[in-house]
Amino acid sequence: MKRVYLDNAATTPLDPTVVAEMTNVMQNYYGNPSAIHALGREVRTLVEKARKTVATLLNASPSEIFFTSGGTEADNTAIRCGTAAYGIKHAITSKIEHHAVEHTLNMLLKDGVIDKLSFVNIDEKGNVDYAHLEELLENNERSFVSLMHANNELGTLTDMQKVGDLCEKYNAIYHADTVQTMGHYTHDVRQLKAHFIVCAAHKLHGPKGVGFLYVNNSIKIPPMIYGGAQERNMRGGTENVYGIVGLAKALEIAYAEMQEHQKHVQGLKDYMKDQLIAEIPGISFNGETDAEKSLYTVLNVSFPEMDMADMLLFNLDINGICASGGSACSSGSNIGSHVLNGIKADPNRPAVRFSFSKYTTKEDIDYTLEKVKMVVKQNALA
């Protein structure tokens, strides 16, 4: 059976060039990068070369890049250590952030690290109300703002420049969760005014279990993980050397091929959207879908009410379609997607997130459309 992978927002397949780069390191470079002997020094060189590659692509200083185990650790470090370093008691976020942000802020509130957690208003498409954000900033003491660049379920983009300008105006610290957009858009940290941005390599055809945190050199934070002196005393633990090398290579490839891949993927997304509208009555979409307002790798489809709606993803899976999704809360026993709940999506309409990559083909989309139409027809309400 043909298998089509359309869950790239969850993780992406490794680029073969990345695999080759990592394999070379695994086979030939085994010294501990903290060791002072020759084998250790040559491995340290690989780590610092990767750091410089990442920094150059972001227009950052290498001293602002800290390697982590992924996006979740990077988000946690930014939030927990950023609030602690400056004694910040008020945080601002939205109700559709990734759990790495939402759960961390809720725990800080529960533990009394922060006294107040405010939620900026969002509309039915997941757009931030910037006027409300400014009200929250001006009516409170110094704040910590955590808002993602692109929503991982909806694809709706937030204007990082606008958020950064507001944070600068009110002396707030700004953390942007850029996990979904790193490698898909350029991030010039000298223009963005964000104090923290993050990366998970596996979202851009790199390896799982490695990422980075950018920390603007205007602020200083304590480490979250203590131990050795790795990452300039900011993260104890022996470095994931081949992962770090793979991350840098994946980001380098993403930047080199970004324009080409964006055009390819946006074309597939637009084609799938148009075909769904033409072929399935009552279809709609969660989040923004216009190219200027939406992450081009994500399309969240809101299907008409149907029998066995909770089996939609399973039925797609047995027909060879790998996707993800859910629904808004429809009962006390089903908490549903907190993102769809946050935009007040119809709980009776099942939602599927299709997410694309540079390896997705038009043939993949045509096959998916064929199976989607079949499954929807089979489960249509009588």
One DSSP character per residue, 212-273 reads EEEE-TT-----SB-SSSHHHHTB-S---HHHHHHHHHHHHHHHHHHHHHHHHHHHHHHHHH
**What type of residue sits at position 272?**
M
Report residue 323 CA to chain centroid gap: 16
Mean pLDDT of all residues in 331-356:
84
Distance between CA 248 and CA 81 in Å, rounded? 25
Taking Cα atoms as reference points, which of 268, 261, 300 lies closest to residue 155?
300
Q: Is the pLDDT of residue 310 over 90?
A: no
> Tokens 């602020």 map to which residue?
219
Helix (H) or strand (E) holding 146: strand 143-146
Instruction: State residue 378's pLDDT score.
Output: 85
Query: 118 near 136, Cβ under 8 Å?
Result: yes
Which tokens hold the place of 25? Answer: 């390191």
Distance between CA 144 and CA 119 in Å, rounded? 12
> Tokens 């110094």 map to which residue?
142
Distances (CA, A) of 139 to 118, 130, 144: 11, 14, 13
The 3-state DSSP class for residue 168 equals helix
Instruction: State residue 379's pLDDT score.
Output: 79
- DSSP letter (8 states) at residue 78: H
Instruction: State residue 332's pLDDT score.
Output: 44
- DSSP letter (8 states) at residue 15: P
Mean pLDDT of all residues in 5-10:
97
Which residues, including other chains, have CB under 8 Å from residue 9's CB and lie 6 or more apart? 152, 153, 180, 203, 297, 298, 324, 353, 355
Taking Cα atoms as reference points, which of 68, 76, 33 lies closest to residue 201?
68
Instruction: State residue 238's pLDDT score.
Output: 96
Confidence of residue 334 (pLDDT cuts 50, 70, 90): low
pLDDT tens per residue, range 134-184: 999 998 899 999 999 999 999 999 999 999 999 999 999 999 999 999 999
Q: Is the pLDDT of residue 254 over 60?
A: yes
Mean pLDDT of all residues in 375-380:
85
Q: What is the average pLDDT score of the chain?
A: 95
Report residue 272 CA to chain centroid gap: 22
Q: Is the pLDDT of residue 331 over 60?
A: no
Integer-rounded Cα radius of gyration of the chain: 22
Distance between CA 291 and CA 296 in Å, rounded? 7
Which tokens hold the place of 250? Answer: 């994946």
Taking Cα atoms as reference points, which of 197, 125, 128 lies closest to residue 162?
128
**What type of residue sits at position 75?**
D
**Active-site choice (81, 167, 322, 329):** 329
Distances (CA, A) of 373 to 315, 318, 322, 336: 12, 14, 16, 24
pLDDT tens per residue, range 84-135: 999 999 999 999 999 999 999 999 999 999 999 999 999 999 999 999 999 9
Instruction: State residue 328's pLDDT score.
Output: 55
% of residues, the chain, pLDDT over 90:
91
% of residues, the chain, pLDDT over 70:
97
Mean pLDDT of all residues in 337-347:
93
Distance between CA 242 and CA 178 in Å, rounded? 23
pTM, full prediction: 0.95
Least-confidence region, from 30-39, 211-220, 300-309: 300-309
Instruction: State residue 330's pLDDT score.
Output: 42
User: With 0-12 CB in 10 A as exposed, 13-18 as middle and 19+ as buried, what is 211?
Assistant: buried
Is 167 annotated in the active site?
A: no
Mean pLDDT of all residues in 295-302:
97
